[in-house]
């Protein structure tokens, strides 16, 4: 018990330190506009929640392919506590949002902060309940899985609306929330690809090679399927904007494709998140290769990161030095959390 308390305390202290460093760099030392921190938040929130959602969905439908991956994927759940703390470090930069000086009922800074922090904390608590129940195959794992998925969908929908779409006010898209949580799920499956490469030797020791290979192929097939689903979500969003041809909606795309290098970055997102995964994962041999699954997962993460920059850059300044430092700090903490799974998941 003391070890668990010490570990959680260390996690919280490390998170607060990173949040304070990010705040000082964004608002004191370099006087930036929070763009680097928002890009960092938008990327890492997908890995805080997406992998857990993958396990929850698999448990709900009694998917057996998840069993070899379950311990590794569920190990990310403590990272959900990091996101609300980092979000509080970003709060001073709300003054750069277009609605900040003309606040209403929904786009109100107090309500904005409260609903995001509360939803992020609820999602973390449900992730913890679900992870601990699922890892021991408890009788309530499906119940907690359903509650977690509901919280996950609600949280990522609000994040999409609040953190990104409200920067584009008065642009409004009811499709954007679904697009965002589908991307987080996509990132969660890609995390399985990373874990396949890192823990391949352990997986094949713990499970018969045929059993694990089937799980690996199923995971690769799911990754292929979500590349298509991502493209569907992307095109659905684009089609509505293009067909409606309403100035405040078209401006969302125009800001991102009218000039270089934004235009090239925008096209690269389609290549990285759809074309490369779709074409290459058609081949069974590549889905069976741990090295290739790592490569394709990193390709997907690169595409997600570029897309996050495209969301933010037209409105907030993304200082590349700040972005690299903050991204590396949070990424290092994420890696440490995954390595501490034995304690967090209460494994013997």
Per residue in 304-325, pLDDT (tens digit) is 999 999 999 888 888 888 999 9
From CA 97, how far away is CA 200, in angstroms rounded?
A: 45
- Give the C-alpha separation, 290 to 294, whole Å: 6
Alpha-helical regions (H) of 61-108 = 67-74, 82-90
Q: Calculate helix-pair angle for 320-339, 35-60, nearest 10 degrees.
A: 30
Give dist(CA 177, CA 131) in Å, integer.
25
Beta carbons of 79 and 8 less than 8 angstroms apart = no
Encode the chain (348 residues) as per-residue pLDDT tens digits. 344 444 888 899 999 999 999 999 888 877 678 899 999 999 999 999 999 999 999 999 998 999 999 999 999 999 999 999 999 999 999 999 999 998 999 999 999 999 999 999 999 999 999 999 999 999 999 999 999 999 999 999 999 999 999 998 888 888 899 999 999 999 999 999 999 999 998 898 889 998 999 999 999 999 999 999 999 999 998 888 888 777 777 888 888 888 888 899 999 999 999 999 999 999 999 999 999 999 999 999 999 999 999 999 888 888 888 999 999 999 999 999 998 877 788 764
Compute the distance between CA of residue 24 and CA of residue 26 in angstroms, rounded to an integer. 6
pLDDT at residue 77 in the model: 95
What is the structure's pLDDT at 135?
A: 93
| Residue 228 in tokens | 């298509």
Give residue 1's pLDDT.
39
Neighbours of 190 (CB within 10 A): 29
Residues 6+ apart with CB under 8 A from 215: 64, 65, 66, 67, 68, 69, 207
Per-residue model confidence (pLDDT) at position 7:
82
CA distance 130 to 303: 29
Distance CA 222, CA 243 (A): 31
Residue 167: CB partners within 8 Å, gap ≥ 6? 97, 98, 311, 312, 315, 316
| pTM for this prediction | 0.93
How many structural domains compose the chain? 1
The Cα-based distances of 186 to 136, 192, 290, 300 in angstroms read: 25, 10, 18, 9
Looking at residue 260, its pLDDT comes to: 85
- For residue 28, the 8-state DSSP code is I
Predicted local distance difference test score (pLDDT) of residue 344: 83
**Token code pair at residue 174:** 């009811």
Q: What pLDDT is recorded for position 170?
A: 82
d(CA 171, CA 248): 6
Query: Residue 261, preceding bond cis, omega within 30 degrees?
Result: yes
Place of tokens 């997908």: 46
User: Which domain, by its residues, includes 6?
Assistant: 2-344
Quick one: DSSP state of residue 29? Answer: I
pLDDT value of residue 2: 40
């Amino acid at each position: 018990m003391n070890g668990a308390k010490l570990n959680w305390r260390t996690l919280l202290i490390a998170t607060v330190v990173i949040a304070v460093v990010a705040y000082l760099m964004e608002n004191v030392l370099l006087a930036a506009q929070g763009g680097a921190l928002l890009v960092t938040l938008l990327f890492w929130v997908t890995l805080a929640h997406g992998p857990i959602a993958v396990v929850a969905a698999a448990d709900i439908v009694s998917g057996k392919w998840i069993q070899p991956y379950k311990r590794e994927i569920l190990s990310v759940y403590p990272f959900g506590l990091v996101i609300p703390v980092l979000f509080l470090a970003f709060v001073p930069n709300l003054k750069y949002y277009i609605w900040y000086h003309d606040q209403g009922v929904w786009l109100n800074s107090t309500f904005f902060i409260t609903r995001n922090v509360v939803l992020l904390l609820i999602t973390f608590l449900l992730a913890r309940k679900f992870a601990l129940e699922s890892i021991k195959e408890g009788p309530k794992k499906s119940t907690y899985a359903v509650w977690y998925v509901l919280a996950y969908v609600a949280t990522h929908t609000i994040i999409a609306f609040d953190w990104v779409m409200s920067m584009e006010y008065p642009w409004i898209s009811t499709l954007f929330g679904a697009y965002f949580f589908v991307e987080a799920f996509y990132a969660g499956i890609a995390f399985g690809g990373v874990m396949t490469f890192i823990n391949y030797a352990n997986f094949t020791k713990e499970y018969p090679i045929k059993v694990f290979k089937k799980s690996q192929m199923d995971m690769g097939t799911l990754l292929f399927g979500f590349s298509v689903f991502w493209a569907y979500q992307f095109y659905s969003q684009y089609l509505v904007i293009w067909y409606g041809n309403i100035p405040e909606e078209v401006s969302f795309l125009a800001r991102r494709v009218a000039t270089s290098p934004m235009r090239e970055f925008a096209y690269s997102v389609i290549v990285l998140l759809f074309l490369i995964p779709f074409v290459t994962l058609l081949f069974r041999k590549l889905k069976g290769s741990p090295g290739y699954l790592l490569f394709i997962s990193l390709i997907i993460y690169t595409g997600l990161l570029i897309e996050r920059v495209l969301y933010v850059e037209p409105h907030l300044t993304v200082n590349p030095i700040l972005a690299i430092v903050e991204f590396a700090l949070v990424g290092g903490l994420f890696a440490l959390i995954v390595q501490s799974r034995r304690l967090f998941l209460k494994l013997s």
